[in-house]
Amino acid sequence: MDASPTNSEIDTAAQTSGQLSISALPGIPLVNPGDDIGSIICDGLLRCGITLQDGDILVLAQKIVSKSEDRYAALDSVTPSPAAIELAKEVGKDSRLVELILSESRGVVRKRKGVLIVEHNLGIVMANAGIDSSNVEPLGGATEDDAKQQVLLLPKDPDGSCQFLRDSLREKTGADVAVIINDSVGRAWRNGTVGMAIGTAGIDALLDLNGRHDLFDRPLQATQVGLADELAAAASIVMGQADEGRPAVHIRGYAVQTGQGNAQDLIRAQEQDLFR
């Protein structure tokens, strides 16, 4: 039996209205460890007059999720290993930061002065294992000098974080929504950073269009769309990258087909990677 999807099935899975509504939620406060992100999102939706509907998509900046999950690390509490000290000399980085990068990574992919590209423990290839100090404020009674020694790690389980928030929003609003966590990453062969999905729930992150027909009725044979990455990048445009303070974005207009996939589906298997 031919198990390939029919054209109508694929059309339904890929359907959009041709127009998306993308809205940054206003007034999102600085997030602290233990904060209820679901309640913060609901307050932001209320401020801009949006009532969640089934099929809506929420995209959250990685930093607010990491902050709520207390993924802070203080450099002055890190003792660098000999390997970290040697690598830090090669790349010109703080050896304590390099130790954290190595502890969050499976291995170094590329390095040069000022640049350290690693494969994160999640499987994502990125600079510095996603560890960052921008927009990381002092906690509690910490001083500005303390903050300069403080960095933020990625969530331990971004897909799980998305599912937790999705469940929380369903409980609070009754709506069945999709959730994406995005982060800004650089790309091989391209200048500039773009938003990329590091966690998803309630949406197939990778959309397989193989079998769908093109304009001339030819079936597609090698077309997979990084749907969650495209939505993450679209949200990044209204989030901003500096002091905008817009870490949560609401998207409406994409006909979400709830699936069992997650952001891990976007990571190319190493045996299929021609460049590593």
Contacts with 35 (C-beta within 8 Å, 6 or more apart), sequence order: 67, 68
Global pTM value:
0.88
Exposure string over 110-144, b if 16+ CB within 10 A, otherwise e:
eeeeeebbbbbebebbbbbbbbbeebbeeeeeeee
pLDDT mean over 244-261: 84
- What are the φ and ψ backbone dihedral angles of 182, each rounded to 5 degrees? -115, 160
Position 131 confidence tier, pLDDT thresholds 50, 70, 90: very high
CATH topology of domain 7-65+155-272: 60s Ribosomal Protein L30; Chain: A; (3.30.1330)
| The predicted structure's pLDDT at residue 217 | 75
pLDDT mean over 32-36: 96
| The predicted structure's pLDDT at residue 84 | 97
Check the CA dihedral 103-109-115-121 and report its sign: negative
The CATH class given to the 72-152 domain equals: alpha beta
Q: What residue type is 213 in one-letter code?
A: H
Domain ranges of the chain: 7-65+155-272, 72-152
DSSP string, 132-154: B-TT-PPPTT--HHHHHTEEEPP
Residue 210 contacts residue 224 (beta carbons within 8 Å): yes
Per-residue pLDDT tens digits for 53-64: 999 999 999 999
Contacts with 230 (C-beta within 8 Å, 6 or more apart), sequence order: none
| The predicted structure's pLDDT at residue 33 | 95
Position 106 confidence tier, pLDDT thresholds 50, 70, 90: very high
Locate all alpha helices (DSSP H) within the chain, ordered by sequence: 7-14, 37-47, 62-68, 82-91, 95-103, 144-148, 158-173, 227-239
Position 16 confidence tier, pLDDT thresholds 50, 70, 90: low
